[in-house]
């Protein structure tokens, strides 16, 4: 039997999101309560509890990646769609990153499809209560 990976708020690697709801997610053989930031280098716990709290500072791990690591950033805004703030959208665009806001459930589904296609995708996934 393979050992369960240790998860201390960051799980290196690319993992599909297996389930979403009840305030959290399951992925990589484990579960997490709260929001997530999924990037090509791994999945990490994400402090924002609502999409309104997502800003440049919260996305520091994305901006620390080498340019070209992410081509599309999905924004799972929670239960409903919210627009990406103009300043954040502009910063992403300047780095060559497209952005697409949607509900968290739709973002998880889209992320999994694009991950399976080996696309350079990242995702903000706001937990749904």
pLDDT tens profile 20-53:
999 999 999 999 999 999 999 999 999 999 999 9
**Token pair belonging to 63:** 């901006």
| Confidence at residue 4, expressed as pLDDT on a 0 to 100 scale | 52
| Confidence at residue 100, expressed as pLDDT on a 0 to 100 scale | 98
Query: Model-level pTM?
Result: 0.92
Give a yes or no: residue 9 inside a domain: no
Using alpha carbons, list the distances in angstroms from residue 22 to 11, 26, 58, 118.
21, 11, 23, 28
Q: For the chain, what is the domain count? A: 1
Compute the mean pLDDT over every residue in the chain, rounded to the nearest whole number: 94
State which residues form the domain around 115.
Answer: 35-125
pLDDT (tens digit per residue) in 78-125: 999 999 999 999 999 999 999 999 999 999 999 999 999 999 999 999
CA dist., res. 82 & res. 80, Å (int): 7
Give a yes or no: residue 20 inside a domain: no
Give a yes or no: residue 120 inside a domain: yes
CATH number for the domain spanning 76: value is: 3.40.1230.10
Give a yes or no: residue 23 inside a domain: no
8 Å CB contact between 58 and 50 = no
Give a yes or no: residue 98 inside a domain: yes
Give a yes or no: residue 2 inside a domain: no
Residue 39, Cβ neighbours under 10 Å: how many? 22
CA dist., res. 62 & res. 74, Å (int): 12
pLDDT (tens digit per residue) in 58-71: 999 999 999 999 99
Give a yes or no: residue 30 inside a domain: no
């Amino acid at each position: 039997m393979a050992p369960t990976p240790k998860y201390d708020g960051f799980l290196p690697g690319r993992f599909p999101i297996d389930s979403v709801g009840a305030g959290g997610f399951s992925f990589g053989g484990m579960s997490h309560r709260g929001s997530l930031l999924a990037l090509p280098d791994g999945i990490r716990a994400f402090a924002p509890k609502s999409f309104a709290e997502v800003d440049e500072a919260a996305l520091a791990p994305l901006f620390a990646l080498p340019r070209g690591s992410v081509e599309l950033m999905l924004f799972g805004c929670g239960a409903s769609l919210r627009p990406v703030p103009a300043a954040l959208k502009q910063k992403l665009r300047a780095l060559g990153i497209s952005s697409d806001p949607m509900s968290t459930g739709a973002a998880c589904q889209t992320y999994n499809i694009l991950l399976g296609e080996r696309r350079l995708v990242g995702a903000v996934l706001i937990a749904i209560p």
